[in-house]
């Protein structure tokens, strides 16, 4: 079947027990809750930086921003529990690089800079990230292709977006959440919903 999952996976485009016991037991045992990291690799400084950075990427507008949606906790969980050592190093080196930029430009740490300065630092990280050419597919939304070597800014942006738009706040307020549509219409005016579906 050609549902969108298969198309997306096959085109390389999607942003992607045990023998005993009952099936339900096996399943629920295998699913990992995402509300808190199994281990903590963030200290107060890096934790604050993640929150500020996430909110810079997806700020509060007419809809909640990254902080209100819980994206910082998601980002920290992913860095702590999903990243491998190499990816974690890139991430934390990236935070350090932001501090280095701010110290060089403003003689202050990232956390003591004002918003305009922080934005300049993040733009610098973005500029650096733009020089990296991934070997992977152009759009990757199957979530199966993982390029471990993407730069810090790329990792940060991707995790922020993923954490935000899959959060309950993000899905229901920045997107349109309709898990049980009950019908399919192929010709539907966008203005009737106004925001992309969350799925």
Partner 1 sequence: MQTAYDFDVIVVGSGITGGWAAKELTEKGLKVLMLERGKPLEHGKDYVTEHMEPWKIPFGGKPLRELYASDYPIQSTSYAFDETTRHFWNNDRDNPYVFDENKPFHWLRAGVVGGKSLLWGRQVYRWSDLDFEANKKDGHGSDWPIRYKDLKDWYSYVEKTIGVSGQSENLPHLPDSEFQPPMQMNVVEKAVKQRIEATYKERKMTIGRVANLTEPLGARGACHYCGVCQRGCSVGAYFSSHSCTLPAAQKTGNLTLRANSVVEGLDYDPATKRIAAVRVIDALTKEKSRITARMVFLCASTVGSVQILLNSKSESFPNGLANGSGTLGRYMMDHTDSVSAIGITAEFPNKYYYGIRPNGIYIPRFRNLRGRDTDASFERGYGMQGLSMPLEWKAMAMQTPGFGADFKKALQQPKMWLMALVSFGECLPYKDNRVLLDDKLVDRYGIPQVRFDIEYRDNEQRMQADATQQAVDMLKAAKMSFVLPIGKGGPPGSAIHEMGGARMGRDPRESVLNAHNQAHDIPNLFVTDGSSMASSSCVNPSLTFMALTARAADYAVTQLRAGKIV
131 binds partner 1 (CB under 8 A): no
| Among 15, 86, 93, 132, interactor with partner 1 by CB under 8 A | 15
* Complex with partner 1: residue 20 or 107, whichever CB lies closer: 20
Separation CA 141–CA 133 (nearest Å) = 17
| Structure token pair of residue 129 | 């990230």
Specify the DSSP element, H or E, that contains 177.
Answer: strand 176-177
Separation CA 24–CA 37 (nearest Å) = 24
Segment 74 to 113, residues that bind partner 1, using CB under 8 A: 74, 77-78, 81-82, 84
CB under 8 Å to 187, separation ≥6 — which residues?
A: none
| Among 2, 39, 116, 131, interactor with partner 1 by CB under 8 A | 2
43 binds partner 1 (CB under 8 A): no
* Complex with partner 1: residue 1 or 44, whichever CB lies closer: 1
In the complex, least distance from residue 11 CB atom to partner 1, rounded to whole angstroms: 5
| Structure token pair of residue 67 | 């902080």
In the complex, least distance from residue 58 CB atom to partner 1, rounded to whole angstroms: 5
| Structure token pair of residue 54 | 């996430």
Going residue by residue from 172 to 191, which x/- string records binding to partner 1, judged by CB under 8 A?
Answer: --xx---xxxxxxxxxxxxx
By three-state DSSP, how is residue 197 classified?
strand
């Amino acid at each position: 079947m050609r549902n969108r999952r298969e198309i997306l996976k096959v085109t390389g485009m999607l942003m992607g027990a045990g023998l005993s016991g009952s099936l339900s037991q096996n399943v629920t045992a295998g699913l990992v809750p995402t509300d808190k990291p199994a281990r903590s690799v963030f200290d107060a400084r890096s934790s604050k930086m993640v929150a500020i950075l996430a909110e810079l990427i997806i700020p509060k507008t007419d809809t909640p921003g990254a902080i209100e949606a819980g994206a910082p906790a998601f980002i920290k969980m992913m860095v702590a529990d999903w990243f491998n050592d190499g990816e974690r190093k890139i991430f934390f080196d990236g935070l350090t690089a932001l501090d280095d930029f701010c110290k060089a430009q403003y003689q202050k740490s990232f956390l003591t800079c004002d918003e305009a300065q922080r934005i300049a630092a993040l733009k610098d990280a973005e500029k650096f990230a733009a020089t990296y050419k991934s070997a992977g597919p152009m759009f990757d939304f199957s979530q199966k292709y993982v390029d471990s070597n993407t730069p810090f800014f790329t990792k940060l942006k991707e995790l922020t977006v993923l954490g935000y738009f899959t959060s309950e706040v993000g899905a229901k307020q920045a997107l349109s959440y309709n898990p049980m549509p009950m019908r399919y219409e192929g010709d539907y005016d966008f203005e009737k919903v106004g925001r992309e579906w969350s799925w």
